[in-house]
Amino acid sequence: MVGTVTTSPVIELMDITGEKRPEADRDAKKMAQLAASLHNIAKFEVIRFPFDVTVLAEALGCEIDPGTKARTPAVVGHPFKDEFEGDVERIDVSEDLLRKGRIPVVLEACEILKGKEDLEVPIVAGVEGPADLASSICGFKPFLKWTIKKPELIKTLVSKCVDACILYSNACLDSGADAVVIADATASPDMIGPEGFKKLIKPEMIRLRDNITGHCIAHICGATDAIIPDLLDCGFNAISVEESVEDLQSIVAQAHAKNVAVIGNISAAGTLLAKNTFEVKKEAKECIQNGIDILAPGCGIAPETPLENLLAIVEARNDYLLNA
């Protein structure tokens, strides 16, 4: 199977469909149309939307730069940066959250995509992970600093963020998504270390997985080798890994022993954006030979990524099957 569970806002697809961002980030019909083009035009067999990782952060009060056609939305303001302590309880994770920001847009896009009769591929809704969300709310530097200096505060904040992830994920599943992917760059061992993942994130990831009512994928950025056993303990149906992992074969073996699928891990920036179809096919073949279950970009791809390189991923799989 070939597809994507990470963000993929490709400019060429925007030009072909006429559905451009930032409008496609804020309009359910446009979002659904652009997402469907990942299958109809790029031939992916698993598609993911929305095309950024700021939806929950925006709904929880972060200030967002909506970006442009070629620039992904980004968090630029943090609601609790300067007056954080004691304020965690103010974070609203009641059902009201589902009516805030762009959440209603994403939920409607789930319904539209589910209703498309010509789209018989799994649709995956992307959700920012709890560490990403916590660092969006208080700012990245304070998050890292307080993880060490005020661990109880960060623990409470991460727990609130998990509540938000659960609520939003289940709403996506109820609205027609076949799976959700919890994507977290900040939970990476590159950011908080393997011990930080084990102590701070793992217990909350287990609670998150236990409370999500459908298929759930985890994408953690970076070289995740050291946290794979802990990540696999969390009970996700699949894990998505980047090309920066050191030993993909070992990760696949550990995952398969626990009946967990592995998604990845063609380099998004190094190969899909920067190289040609020959190089893409070469790397894709290596991924398949290393046991990848769903051939996909290792992480979110850049808007300028050539469409022919996405098509080359599907061709690589087809070539491999023909020659197998």
Q: For the segment 76-95, give every residue that binds Zn ion (CB under 5 A).
A: none
Residue 273, exposed/middle/buried by CB under 10 A (0-12, 13-18, 19+)?
Answer: middle
Q: CB of 189: closest distance to Zn ion in angstroms?
A: 13
Nearer to Zn ion, 112 or 165 (CB): 165
Q: Is 95 helix (H, G, I), strand (E, B) or coil?
A: helix
108 neighbors 162 (Cβ within 8 angstroms): no
Nearer to Zn ion, 221 or 260 (CB): 221
Q: CB of 150: closest distance to Zn ion in angstroms?
A: 27
Region binding Zn ion by CB under 5 A among candidate stretches 120-128, 151-159, 252-260, 297-305: 297-305
DSSP letter at 91? Answer: S
Interacting residues of 257 by C-beta distance below 8 A, sequence separation 6+: none
| H/E element, 128 | strand 123-128
Q: CB of 256: closest distance to Zn ion in angstroms?
A: 21
Using DSSP bridges, classify how beta strands 238-240 and 294-297 pair: parallel, antiparallel or unpaired.
Answer: unpaired
Cis peptide before 189 (omega within 30 of 0): no
Bridge partner residues of 126 (DSSP):
181
Nearer to Zn ion, 13 or 299 (CB): 299
Region binding Zn ion by CB under 5 A among candidate stretches 26-34, 154-162, 249-257, 292-300: 292-300
Side chain identity, residue 242: E
Q: CB of 217: closest distance to Zn ion in angstroms?
A: 12
Nearer to Zn ion, 61 or 222 (CB): 222
Q: CB of 296: closest distance to Zn ion in angstroms?
A: 11
* Dist. CA 37–CA 292, nearest whole Å: 24
| H/E element, 54 | none
Structure tokens at 162: 């998990």
Residue 34, exposed/middle/buried by CB under 10 A (0-12, 13-18, 19+)?
Answer: buried
Q: CB of 4: closest distance to Zn ion in angstroms?
A: 12
In a 13 Å sphere around the CA of 231, the CA atoms on its Cβ side amount to 32
Nearer to Zn ion, 32 or 299 (CB): 299
Region binding Zn ion by CB under 5 A among candidate stretches 71-79, 122-130, 152-160, 293-301: 293-301
Nearer to Zn ion, 218 or 299 (CB): 299
Nearer to Zn ion, 113 or 220 (CB): 220
Residue 5 found at the interface with Zn ion (CB under 5 A): no
Q: CB of 48: closest distance to Zn ion in angstroms?
A: 12
Side chain identity, residue 313: I
Q: Which of 312, 308, 291, 184 is nearest to 247 (CA)?
A: 291
Q: For the segment 123-142, give every residue that binds Zn ion (CB under 5 A).
A: none
Total residues in contact with Zn ion, by rule CB under 5 A: 2
Nearer to Zn ion, 36 or 182 (CB): 182
Nearer to Zn ion, 91 or 183 (CB): 183
* Dist. CA 111–CA 16, nearest whole Å: 23
Q: For the segment 194-233, give every residue that binds Zn ion (CB under 5 A).
A: 221
* Dist. CA 69–CA 218, nearest whole Å: 27
| 9 Rama class: left (phi>0) / alpha (psi -120 to 50) / beta | beta
Q: CB of 219: closest distance to Zn ion in angstroms?
A: 6
Side chain identity, residue 323: N
Among the listed residues 299, 301, 310, 313, the single contact to Zn ion using CB under 5 A: 299
Q: Which residues contribute to the site for Zn ion (CB under 5 A)? A: 221, 299
